[in-house]
Amino acid sequence: MKLTTMLSVLAAGLLILAGCKTEAPRTSGIELENLDTSVRPQENFFRFVNGAWLENTEIPADRARWGSFDELRENADRQVLEIIKEAAAIEDAKKGSDEQKIGDLFMSFMDTERIEDLRLEPLSDLLSAIDALSSHNDLANHWGYLQRYRSGTPLGVSVGQDMRQAEQYITYGSQSGLGLPDREYYLSDSEQNQQIIGRYKDLISTFWQLAGWQNGERAANRILAIETRIAESHWTRVENRDRNRTYNKMTIAELAGEAPGFNWQQFLDSAGLGNIDEIVIRQPSYMTEFASFFRNFPVSHWRDYLRFHLILTSAGFLSSDFDEASFDFYGRVLSGQEEQRSREKRGVSTVESVLGFMVGKAYVERHFQEEARERMDEMVENLLIAFEESIHELEWMTDDTKKEALNKLSTFTTKIGFPEVWRDYDCVEIDASDLIGNMMRSSVCEYERNINRLGQPVDRDEWGMTPQTVNAYYRSTLNEIVFPAAILQPPFFNVDAEDAVNYGAIGAVIGHEITHGFDDQGRRSDGTGNLRDWWTEQDEEEFTARAQLMIDQYSEFNPIDDLFINGALGLGENIADLGGMNVALRAYRNSLGGEEAPILDGFTGEQRFFMGWGQIWRIKFRDEALRRQIMIGPHAPGKYRVLGVLSNMPEFYEAFDVQPGDPMYREEELRVKIW
């Protein structure tokens, strides 16, 4: 169908149904009310698909951004709130039951009168422990203890699968310690960043004033000096993406030799990890520098640092003045939010953070459609077949590397909807009158669950997201793709829609997660989940050249002011987007079985496929949030996920008659094709 004909049919409001099938076709799944037909798809496809939505949608006052993900998250939160409120309404719920824990945790958060009366009293023990610190060795001991609470520690430890021996767990050590989102906030001398630094110092001084402490400005200068020195030694986000560089296994003695001056054994003893023989250090140069410079700051300065971070991590659970001061900086200044979310909404987030899978059980019982799992199973199978076909047809890859890639693909596992084995929360004690205590006990429970995995078999039933999470992920060490229940809704997945839009939406998301197993970092792991180089030198060079072309492409996008997208930071996501769309289109074509797709709402099947992709990335940002996304986020803003991918796909050019000179057109030699 010619583009002019398509637009005239759409403008006339006609519904065209065609095809050789006798049964009535499903709905198209295209949200016609969101289109802007005054914009040619060859000019700006993102706006063509979403233009009316962009014009008619206002970002809610309590949000920094608003888009398809946020709409679904808001809906999931409403459904979870209903579950939580029902639990809270149960009188005399059995101690330790799901209803008691969910209900009492929510009630402890909603008991604002008690929270206002208590002020800093729930933190008194930890504040006293900070006051008692008198030596730098005391700091090592205290930072180890604080691992349970993730508060005020310039370095962190955790337990996860060993990336080179994925059948076992190992301890990881990582850089930490900043109050601003990233090192660049401290090191950039832009006017925007200097204003943020000034407001950050104001936050510290405000906390001091609210706590009744003296010398808030002095404390702010001390804390900023410490954090700036930490930031100078931090690895960049691009460096932290490199799985080979961030895997540095060593014994504790070797760590002490690499980073002398810090009592590593005392730190690990206090963290409950004193018996480990080895550790993987993600940023060894940071550990070396930290062990050298931390003694340059007096203990009294570190005490100020620790006081601030303790209040900062607790502010949302303290009296309203602390809470509002924190929101004023992190919500208004950094993200542009006009107002804070309601207490009830924040209560939902609190319950989810502590008892997420417990709430998830009830969510699945009420809101998960089994038909969604059945259709997802079919689509995943089709996507895996399509990816296998794609590997076979790659012209740039040698047979040896293809064999390894196909072996990895054959070992993929899939999780859809919800876990087969639910998380156990027996160790979490919830008291309706003790909000801070609930949060601390939960943190200790989760930390001990984490470190107690050492020496145990790898838990292959574990999920990294709750069923009510609107997202999906790939985990390299388990070589699995996971799709929680909450993402299986329009516009991502529409059980009532014809296949084209679903393949362009959730199909491309499935393909995205599969491709993560073969992006610039995922490709470094094999089918067993182990970090291993299975690439020939020739294929490594071919892949790197294509990846660099993609880095260059995205680095040219300039969403706001003088900020450009960091193509190197987003490389994995952009490879996954493009690979996901390529394989989803192949799978969609396969699903037709040689038949012609029906024309629905004036669009061909392949046009609807691409529109499905465009729909899921509709989003609006406040300027502050957009700047933050560009600075620290690996994902490009939604507009560029649409424009960047489609400008590389010749099939899109054919579907919408894109010609040289059109803004969506990219010269053939500059188009990227990896998977």
Residue 315 has pLDDT above 50, yes or no: yes
Please check whether residues 170 and 287 belong to one and the same domain. Answer: yes
What pLDDT is attached to residue 291?
98
- The tally of domains found in the chain comes to 2
Residue 22 pLDDT class (50, 70, 90 cuts):
very low
Q: What is the CATH number of the domain that holds 406?
A: 3.40.390.10
In a domain, 520, yes or no: yes
What pLDDT is attached to residue 442?
97
Residue 610 pLDDT class (50, 70, 90 cuts):
very high
Please check whether residues 374 and 261 belong to one and the same domain. Answer: no
Domain closes at, from 277, 298, 319? 298
Please check whether residues 273 and 372 belong to one and the same domain. Answer: no
Residue 10 pLDDT class (50, 70, 90 cuts):
very low
In a domain, 38, yes or no: yes
Please check whether residues 184 and 265 belong to one and the same domain. Answer: yes
- How many whole angstroms separate alpha carbon 493 and alpha carbon 490? 5
Residue 359 has pLDDT above 80, yes or no: yes
Q: Could you tell me whether strands 413-417 and 480-484 are parallel, antiparallel, or unpaired per DSSP bridges?
A: parallel
User: In terms of Cα–Cα distance, which of 316, 341, 419 is closest to 78?
Assistant: 341
Residue 141 pLDDT class (50, 70, 90 cuts):
very high
What pLDDT is attached to residue 9?
38
Residue 536 has pLDDT above 80, yes or no: yes
Domain closes at, from 252, 269, 298? 298
Please check whether residues 270 and 390 belong to one and the same domain. Answer: no
> Are the beta carbons of 488 and 506 closer than 8 angstroms?
yes
Residue 13 has pLDDT above 60, yes or no: no
| pLDDT tens digits along 280-295 | 999 999 999 999 999 9
| Distance linking the first and last C-alpha atoms of the chain | 29
Domain closes at, from 278, 298, 318? 298
What pLDDT is attached to residue 645?
98
Please check whether residues 530 and 382 belong to one and the same domain. Answer: yes
Residue 505 has pLDDT above 60, yes or no: yes
> Are the beta carbons of 531 and 244 closer than 8 angstroms?
yes
Please check whether residues 485 and 592 belong to one and the same domain. Answer: yes
Structural domain harbouring 488: 3-60+368-419+463-670
Residue 545 has pLDDT above 50, yes or no: yes
User: In terms of Cα–Cα distance, which of 319, 283, 340, 308 is closest to 155?
Assistant: 283
As a whole number of Å, the CA-based R_g of the chain is 26
Residue 397 has pLDDT above 70, yes or no: yes
Residue 21 has pLDDT above 80, yes or no: no
Please check whether residues 378 and 294 belong to one and the same domain. Answer: no
- How many whole angstroms separate alpha carbon 633 and alpha carbon 559? 13
Q: What is the CATH number of the domain that holds 174?
A: 1.10.1380.10
Two tokens, residue 246: 């961030």
SS3 313: helix
Name the residue with tokens 């200790």. Answer: 444
Please check whether residues 273 and 396 belong to one and the same domain. Answer: no
| pLDDT tens digits along 84-121 | 999 999 999 999 999 999 999 999 999 999 999 999 99
In a domain, 89, yes or no: no
Alpha-carbon 674 to chain mean position:
24
Two tokens, residue 131: 């006051």
Name the residue with tokens 């023989």. Answer: 277
What pLDDT is attached to residue 473?
97
Please check whether residues 155 and 42 belong to one and the same domain. Answer: no
Please check whether residues 293 and 375 belong to one and the same domain. Answer: no
Average of per-residue pLDDT across 368-391:
93
In a domain, 83, yes or no: no
What pLDDT is attached to residue 459?
97
Residue 11 has pLDDT above 50, yes or no: no
What pLDDT is attached to residue 544?
97
In a domain, 550, yes or no: yes
| pLDDT tens digits along 198-228 | 999 999 999 999 999 999 999 999 999 999 9
The pTM of this model reads: 0.93
In a domain, 261, yes or no: yes
In a domain, 448, yes or no: no
| pLDDT tens digits along 226-265 | 999 999 999 999 999 999 999 999 999 999 999 999 999 9
| pLDDT tens digits along 37-71 | 999 999 999 999 999 999 999 999 999 999 999 99
Residue 153 has pLDDT above 50, yes or no: yes
**Cis upstream peptide for 491 (omega within 30°):** yes
What pLDDT is attached to residue 20?
37
What pLDDT is attached to residue 375?
86
| pLDDT tens digits along 638-667 | 999 999 999 999 999 999 999 999 999 999
Average of per-residue pLDDT across 421-445:
97
Kindly report which listed range (311-325, 370-384, 423-437) carries the lowest average pLDDT score: 370-384
Residue 25 pLDDT class (50, 70, 90 cuts):
low
What pLDDT is attached to residue 152?
86
Please check whether residues 56 and 199 belong to one and the same domain. Answer: no
| pLDDT tens digits along 173-195 | 999 999 999 999 999 999 999 99
State the chain's mean pLDDT as an integer.
95
In a domain, 313, yes or no: no
Residue with the larger pLDDT of the pair 371 and 282: 282
What pLDDT is attached to residue 371?
85
Contacts within 8 Å (CB) and 24+ apart, 1-7? 1/599, 1/602, 1/603, 1/604, 1/607, 2/657, 3/40, 3/41, 3/42, 3/656, 3/657, 6/602, 6/603, 6/607, 7/37
